[in-house]
Structure 1
Amino acid sequence: MQGPSGSGKTYSSLLLAYGLVGDWSKVAVIDTENQSADLYAHLGGYNVISLGAPYTPEKYLEAIQLCESAGMEAIVIDSLSHEWETLLDIHSNMPGNSFTNWGKITPRHNYLINKILSSTAHIIATVRSKQDYVLTEKNGKQVPEKVGMKGVQRDGLEYDFTIVFDVNIKHFVSASKDRTGMFVGLPDFRITPETGEMIRDWCLLSEPELHEEPRDFVEAINSCQSLDQLYRLYNENPNLQQLYKEEFVAKKSKLLTTPNFMSNGTHAH
């Protein structure tokens, strides 16, 4: 759930979480937003864990594990942006080679993401977004130009989530990524508990497939060494083509931009 400050990410996430599990006592919020989760206590008796700075990945991990051990079925991480900002600060203050230092930071971030992906609970993460800019040339000068909103997190985070809802300042959402296929192309709408119920029903229907395929299938896509292999995998799995469209497109682009790469998987000499 990503959007600018004041767009209603926390409120929408709570409604979504309740729809997913139908019991406020089974919902927990990992709060890094100065007790903002307490603002919605009138909704029901959900649980709150407040994290303080520094917002390290290890603190998030400990909080998720605490929620799981307490039997929570839906966890709202509000917000995941603080984790990445903390890692950026740590990296900027590390002595030595910047590239080498990322080798120490990245595993900490990846460990948290892997924990989110393997959690026994539904996890909803909020991400703050801000105006993004690119430099364009006008009259011989480089000037910044607005190109929309960008989430404050590591690039590519959206690939790990089943659904990405973009929330605007009027509290309406649209799905910029949706593996369920239920929200693609819909007009902007507001999150309600019924939205969570729809996702819960999809999870129950898709459960056998989801436990068997997602991570393995992404690995199968990424392991393709040629366009021929990629096309074959795509054509052999018509039921997964829409769900993994982004991964197929990304891998195709990567193959096409590999230097001296031929469609049959050989290299020019």
Structure 2
Amino acid sequence: MILEQAKRHQVKLRLGLSGASGFGKSYSALLLAYGITNDWNKIAVIDTENGSASLYAHLGGYNVLSLNDPYSPERYIQAIKACEESDIAVIIIDSITHEWNGKGGCLQIHEQLGGRFQDWGKVSPRHQSFIDAILKSKCHVITTTRRKVDYSIDSTQNGPAKVVKHGTKEITREGFEYELTVNFELINDSHLCKASKDRTGLFMDKPEFIINAATGRKLIAWCNEGISIDDIRQEIENCIKIEGLKHLYAKYSSVKNEIKPLIIKRKQELEALSNQLVETKDIVESQNTEINGTDSK
């Protein structure tokens, strides 16, 4: 265990947009993404909403990956990887609701397994792999989530049961919001929103507002504060000892998921170089032995 001083590192944004149908989730997500990248070609939409992403093609030349059922966690993961391999900067997943509550999604998978409590032992790891794919992505990720009205039935000892409305609830597995950098809740069809979760401090407890490209620019400015991954990558590439790599991994532990592949790659390079030096040394020593043996004769 190592106790170290807290440092800010540049991070990839994990943004959430939730709201009822027609409240502008897809449109707002696109404006956010453009504010982050300033380049429509660097934006990809994983579209599970029957082609709704293409309705805003007039905004710019962003990319669309259509994802149809079955909406299993694995198919979402494949779509995320396809975007990453295409040098995309911002991935919009519109929406993640289907992964949980759609045809072939986690709830249906659980039901097909028998619907027992113990069957979650097979479903939960698959869902977590989907969440991990979002959290560990090398891209900025924006997710949209449908919301529904949440009710409960309250009853008193002497009175009749009452249906009580508790506002709205995101249609995905409970707890996803806590994984996000910022979660925006669209509250009406005029696209007004509020922040229900905000690690940046830019939007929490502020008046309701309409998301636009300037919102994305604020977020990317916050994101780019601190030490960049590119600077850390350069340190790793310049490292000439394996012990130095261990030091860098400990030094930048807050971004270990991002730098671990870089550390492993550089370690392999150093080991290969070390093996080459040993082989070269053995060859030189062997040649010297032969020369010395010839001279003695």
TM-score (norm 2): 0.69
**SS of aligned partner of 1:126:** strand
| Equivalent residue for 2:172, pick from 150, 153, 157 | 153
| Equivalent residue for 1:119, pick from 112, 124, 137 | 137
Residue of structure 2 in register with 1:32 after alignment: 48
**SS of aligned partner of 1:93:** helix
Q: Is 1:193 matched with 2:218?
A: no
Deviations 1:35-74 (A, max 9, x none): 0000000000000000011111111100110100000000
For residues 41-190 of structure 1, the aligned pairs below 5 Å read 41-85=57-101, 86-95=105-114, 98-137=116-155, 139-169=158-188, 170-190=190-210
For 1:182 and 1:87, locate their aligned partners in 2 and report how far apart those are by CA, in whole Å: 34
Deviations 1:220-259 (A, max 9, x none): xxxxxxxxxxxxxxxxxxxxxxxxxxxxxxxxxxxxxxxx
**SS of aligned partner of 1:40:** helix
Aligned residues between the structures:
214
Q: Which AA in structure 2 matches 1:205?
A: E
For 1:215 and 1:154, locate their aligned partners in 2 and report how far apart those are by CA, in whole Å: 26
> Unmatched 5+ residue regions in structure 1?
217-269
> Unmatched 5+ residue regions in structure 2?
1-16, 230-251, 258-297
Q: Which AA in structure 1 matches 2:206?
A: L
**% identical aligned pairs:** 47
How well do the aligned residues superpose, as a CA RMSD in angstroms? Answer: 1.8
Residue of structure 1 in register with 2:272 after alignment: none
TM-score (norm 1): 0.76
Per the TM alignment, residue 137 of structure 1 is displaced from its structure 2 partner at its CA by 1.8
Residue of structure 1 in register with 2:27 after alignment: 11
Q: Which AA in structure 2 matches 1:110?
A: Q
Q: Which AA in structure 2 matches 1:55?
A: Y
Per the TM alignment, residue 206 of structure 1 is displaced from its structure 2 partner at its CA by 4.2
Q: Which AA in structure 2 matches 1:18?
A: Y
For residues 207-246 of structure 1, the aligned pairs below 5 Å read 212-213=253-254
For 1:207 and 1:115, locate their aligned partners in 2 and report how far apart those are by CA, in whole Å: 23
Larger Rg, first or second structure (1 or 2): 2
